[in-house]
A and B are shown apart, each in its own frame.
Chain A
């Protein structure tokens, strides 16, 4: 846990941040409106005596007070999808519309892919890219269970995904997952600045390709579930470069408290614009940890 000390200067109320890491995260799920309405789903859960609470910031998100929500019939039938609360944020920031063409560059296991598909009401096209064959299986299985009809799966190396352009691209990048400590204790023991710097090389290349594949006026969302600036602000700054082809738009989800992206790290000044990106800390909203940046291609 001492590893987190490197964030002492950037995380507000650091003691609370450190303390909450040992508290397990509650179970949560998203209502899949491709298969059921919110009203009907809530009615069913009430009938079955399942205790739940809607997220105050997102009506389709539920905290479930049940040990194994995966075993609910509603999950088997694809009426809900077990998904971490903050994992529902990046698709909402991406803001896909029915009929658009979307690329999800790092898609498996498909929680965000299927949320995007749901926001598009199964219309238009989502390309869900996942290079690893082993990881295509859960992606496919989730899409099928949730009744998704507008997703096609590809297996390119995301750095070389060949063809666009897309209206919107999501890069939910492979990362050190520090923000998942509450879900699976021990994550932090595998983290190091060196590992973050290794991942940074891949993350910059993924984001650069995503920017290339986006239509002018289109949106790219870059997200990770880590606190490491090397994998967050530094990636966004490096991928955007000096050119004024791109600009950052403020990330703000009403009802969810974000902290602004940092503009200084290890004594080095970063672009002021990075304060438009959002850091979500576990002790502020009682969630996991996430970072989200929204980029507009001019």
Chain B
């Protein structure tokens, strides 16, 4: 990779709010006002959301929260972003029972019947958004980042789920 392309990759470029809001509206039915008070940036293949303030001219490592990855198609929401905005979802969401939630939090895959469209879904348990799942042909694959997975103790009796 040339130094020039590496430099370009490290720039946070502002993005139109309406563009991002439409993607979340189309996939999850999340209304635009859910993003009121946020502004958006793109860096490399990730999209970031931050409170709507003027940023001083500094060299930034991160700006707000990484909310989605556009590395592959379709775009993928982050678990962190779904835990904030996912509660407004009206479609492509799944409610798990306790047993299913444990498997999901451990990072596992499982068979689940649902009328969700193929792709990323918002996964709920008892009203909490657990995070992002990938749903396809009756199978749910957990997308919980490794460091936020529940360790194997979750299967024991004192499982805190």
Tell me whether A76 and B83 are in contact (CB under 8 A). Answer: no
Is B57 interfacial (CB 8 A cutoff)? Answer: yes
Which residue of B has the minimal Cβ distance to A78?
B83
B residues near A71, Cβ cutoff 8 Å = 150-151, 153-154, 160
Tell me whether A152 and B147 are in contact (CB under 8 A). Answer: no
| Residue interface bits B11-28, CB-to-A below 8 A is 1, else 0 | 000000000000000000
Leading 6 A-B pairs by shortest Cβ distance: A150-B51, A144-B80, A153-B61, A153-B62, A125-B53, A152-B63
B residues near A127, Cβ cutoff 8 Å = 56, 58
- Listed in ascending order, the chain A residues whose CB lies under 8 Å from chain B are 35, 48, 50, 68, 71-74, 76-78, 101, 122-125, 127, 136, 140-141, 143-145, 147-156, 162-164
Determine which residue in B55, B56, B66, B105 has the highest number of CB atoms from chain A within 10 A of its CB, and name it: B56
Q: Chain B interface mostly helix, strand, loop or mixed?
A: mixed
**5 A/B residue pairs, CB under 8 Å, sorted by A:** A73-B160, A122-B51, A140-B62, A141-B147, A144-B80
Which residue of A has the minimal Cβ distance to B56?
A163
Task: Tell me the bound Cα distance from A164 to B57 in angstroms.
Answer: 10
Tell me whether A35 and B65 are in contact (CB under 8 A). Answer: no
Interface residues of B in 128-161 (CB under 8 A from A): 128, 130, 147-148, 150-151, 153-154, 160-161
Tell me whether B80 and A145 are in contact (CB under 8 A). Answer: yes
Task: Tell me the bound Cα distance from A145 to B128 in angstroms.
Answer: 14
Task: Tell me the bound Cα distance from A145 to B65 in angstroms.
Answer: 10
Which residue of A has the minimal Cβ distance to B101?
A73
Determine which residue in A68, A125, A144 has the highest number of CB atoms from chain B within 10 A of its CB, and name it: A144
Interface residues of B in 30-88 (CB under 8 A from A): 37-38, 49-51, 53, 55-66, 78, 80, 83-84
Tell me whether B160 and A153 are in contact (CB under 8 A). Answer: no
Tell me whether A76 and B61 are in contact (CB under 8 A). Answer: no
Tell me whether B150 and A76 are in contact (CB under 8 A). Answer: yes
Which residue of B has the minimal Cβ distance to A148?
B65
| Residue interface bits B104-144, CB-to-A below 8 A is 1, else 0 | 01000000000000000000000010100000000000000
Known: A76-B148, A147-B83, A154-B60. 19 other contacts (CB 8 A): A68-B153, A73-B160, A101-B53, A125-B55, A127-B56, A141-B147, A143-B65, A144-B80, A149-B65, A151-B64, A152-B50, A152-B55, A152-B58, A152-B63, A153-B62, A154-B61, A155-B59, A155-B61, A156-B59
Task: Tell me the bound Cα distance from A56 to B160 in angstroms.
Answer: 26
Contact of B161 (CB < 8 Å), options: A73, A78, A148:
A73
Task: Tell me the bound Cα distance from A73 to B151 in angstroms.
Answer: 11
Task: Tell me the bound Cα distance from A162 to B59 in angstroms.
Answer: 10
Tell me whether A72 and B61 are in contact (CB under 8 A). Answer: no
A residues near B53, Cβ cutoff 8 Å = 101, 124-125, 150
Tell me whether B66 and A144 are in contact (CB under 8 A). Answer: yes
A residues near B83, Cβ cutoff 8 Å = 35, 77-78, 147
Tell me whether A163 and B58 are in contact (CB under 8 A). Answer: yes
B residues near A152, Cβ cutoff 8 Å = 50, 55, 58, 60, 62-64
Task: Tell me the bound Cα distance from A258 to B66 in angstroms.
Answer: 40
Determine which residue in A50, A68, A125, A152 has the highest number of CB atoms from chain B within 10 A of its CB, and name it: A152
Which residue of B has the minimal Cβ distance to A126?
B51
Task: Tell me the bound Cα distance from A151 to B80 in angstroms.
Answer: 14
B residues near A148, Cβ cutoff 8 Å = 65
Tell me whether A154 and B58 are in contact (CB under 8 A). Answer: yes
